[in-house]
A and B are shown apart, each in its own frame.
Chain A
Amino acid sequence: MVKDFDKVLVIGCKGCVTVCNVGGAKEVGVLASLLRIAANKNGKTMDVGAATLERQCDPEYIEEVKDIIGEYDAVVSIACGVGPQFLSERYPQSRIFPGLNTKFMGGAVEHGVWSERCAGCGTCVVHYFGGLCPIARCSKSLLNGPCGGSSGGKCEISKEVDCIWDLIVRKLMEQGRLDELRQFRPPKDWRTARDGGPRKMIREELAI
């Protein structure tokens, strides 16, 4: 992405990406070194700068690079997908590149292993399903029980993927809550999800 640029600024974020070990100060340092080494290998010198902002999802902190960003030909943000966009919006003259692929909202189920939990559909339903989300965790987002591909607790798409419906069913049956599973769940209103268009939230009490 940036091999043809002479001056590159790598910007990290101290928020979620630091916790996930992909976009904090440490990773900024590693990426900056890698870029320099790669440039050397190609017989050129790259001037790589580094910065790690408090957060890249807040204009206040995006301001922190205003005095230096203009010196660089390219900027690599290793925040989540919000970062490159906040930077692009604030610094329209700069060429901003994403250094990370933002994958999902999830958590660390063990050291070094993250797993998806939320699809951000805008209307939480986990209380109907034993606290587990079939929207995010069923490959087909089924709301009325497991499909015919559930086998040995695994999803039909891969033996590496748990069938969330298997877990939901077992949990509720053990708790004697089978009746809840037998209830028909009507079609979901997807307007609160991404299907309703790009989303925005306004909280009057916080607005200045």
Chain B
Amino acid sequence: MSEYKSGSNLERVLKGGHFAFTGECGPPQGANVEKLREKARHLKGMVDAVNVTDNQTAVVRMSSWAASLILLKEGLEPNFQMVCRDRNRLAMQSDILGVYAHGIRNMLCLSGDHQKFGNHPQAKNVYDIDSMQLIHAVKTMRDEGKFLNGEQIDEPPKLFIGAACNPFADPFEFRVYRLAKKIEAGADFIQTQCIYNMDKFREFMKRVVDMGLHEKCYILAGVTPMKSVGMARYMAKQVPGMDVPDSLIKRLQGAGKGKVAEEGIKFAVEQIEEFKEMEGVAGVHLMAIEWEHRVPEIAERAGMLPRPKV
């Protein structure tokens, strides 16, 4: 175990040289545990870890740590997400200790969408620290056994540290340096924004490889299958930092009535096949938004099954 930073399944899969496959699960907008368990059942055995989102798009949901614990009981490995929008450094550090005490071993550190997008736009935001500082804090807690104030932690939380990267946000030229900065701050793995513009992602990964960043950190390529032409258009126009090429929208339109979802899955499977071969890509992060029941099919068709037992 000692060679591992946290010993999580995800860490062991990646360090074992396997092509990792992670999923995602949004907690319910209520205390409906059964709904969460049902989502979990679709993902069980299909992925190496499941991201549990933290009030994603600034919409209030069951807390990410609570939903993570439920997944843990269901036999899945959570990747606990934490955003900087809702917590100050006291709350963050205490939640980190709490999730570790309950057996969570992966954590994804994010800035978080601005509350303006969500269902409580009247809220005051926090942003006491930013995602870079959060990554650094989790690493310092783990490796030096110290809180942000420098005081000693009696039993440090050993977490496998994740961070996000959006190669499609601007300014493009700086994105690879921001990634490098996150790795230096302590990120062990990266999950990217949903990729649709493959040309731009290839260019980005070339820069990543040129800088040798893929040797310092595991990079998981983000995939979200398009369910409809409407979803593609919405993502293209309404979601900041999302790059959906017209050619993809045309391809989905061309699929014909009742066949768009199938075309979306087909594109996702093609992407996964390419990522398996792409230099520097260590796995895929599949964000099938409210489409968890299609994950087994996608995993099967993309040749991701069975998942390695490590």
Contact = CB atoms under 8 A, between A and B. Distances in A.
B132 A144 contact: yes
Interface stretch (A31-39, A79-87, A151-159, A200-208): A151-159
Interface stretch (A88-96, A100-108, A135-143): A135-143
B185 interface: yes
B296 interface: no
Contact of B132 (A152, A178, A184, A190): A184
Contact of B114 (A146, A149, A151, A187): A149
Given A147-B111, A151-B240, A166 B132 contact: no
A142 B132 CA distance: 9
B224 to A, nearest CB: 14
Chain A contact-residue range equals 20 to 34
A127 interface: no
Contacts of B59: none
A163 B131 CA distance: 17
A186 interface: yes
Interface in A182-208: 182, 184-188, 190
Contact of A156 (B113, B132, B193): B113
B174 A145 contact: yes
Interface stretch (B48-56, B165-173, B200-208): B165-173
A146 B175 CA distance: 9
B35 interface: no
B178 interface: yes
B129 A148 contact: no
B158 interface: no
Given A140-B85, A187-B148, A150 B130 contact: no
A187 B177 contact: no
B29 to A, nearest CB: 22
B169 A145 contact: no
Nearest to B180: A182
Interface residues of B, number: 37
A30 B126 CA distance: 40
Contacts of B136: 184, 186
Contact of A173 (B169, B173, B184): B173
A146 B185 CA distance: 16
Contact of A151 (B117, B181, B185, B241): B241
B89 interface: yes
Contacts of B113: 149, 156
Contact of A187 (B125, B128, B180, B184): B128
Nearest to A186: B133
Contacts of A188: 129
Nearest to B170: A150
B96 interface: no
A50 interface: no
Interface of A: 139-154, 156-158, 163, 166, 169-170, 173, 178, 181-182, 184-188, 190
Interface of B: 84-85, 89, 111-114, 116-117, 125, 127-133, 136-137, 148, 164-166, 169-171, 173-174, 177-178, 180-181, 184-185, 193, 240-241
16 contacts: A140-B111, A140-B125, A144-B130, A144-B131, A144-B178, A146-B169, A146-B171, A146-B174, A148-B169, A149-B114, A156-B241, A157-B116, A157-B117, A163-B170, A187-B133, A190-B128
* 4 tightest Cβ-Cβ pairs between the two chains A and B: A148-B166, A144-B132, A156-B240, A149-B240
